[in-house]
């Protein structure tokens, strides 16, 4: 599913709308339990996803001690 927004809309805010639409349109077809996302989605969205849908939103963070490109599990 894709949701296009204006450039001034934060990814965390747009994610709520996208997940609501996904749940409404596709949840009966998929058994979604876990979502992996980058650090841009951390914070209150993690709690909201758990409370709204009982899904886990796992934030995959970069190792702060490594510089340059990092191959991160579940994100690439």
Query: What is the tens place of the pLDDT at every residue in 12-62?
Result: 999 999 999 999 988 777 788 999 998 889 999 999 999 999 999 999 887
**Cα four-point dihedral sign 58, 61, 63, 68:** positive
Distance CA 51, CA 6 (A): 27
- What is the model's pTM? 0.78
């Amino acid at each position: 599913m894709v949701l296009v927004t204006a450039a001034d809309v934060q990814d965390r805010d747009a994610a709520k709308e996208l997940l609501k639409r996904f749940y409404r349109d596709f949840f009966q077809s998929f058994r979604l339990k876990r979502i992996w996302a980058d650090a841009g989605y951390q914070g209150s969205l993690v709690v909201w996803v758990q409370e709204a849908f009982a899904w886990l939103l796992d934030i995959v963070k970069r190792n702060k001690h490594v510089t340059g490109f990092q191959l991160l599990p579940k994100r690439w």
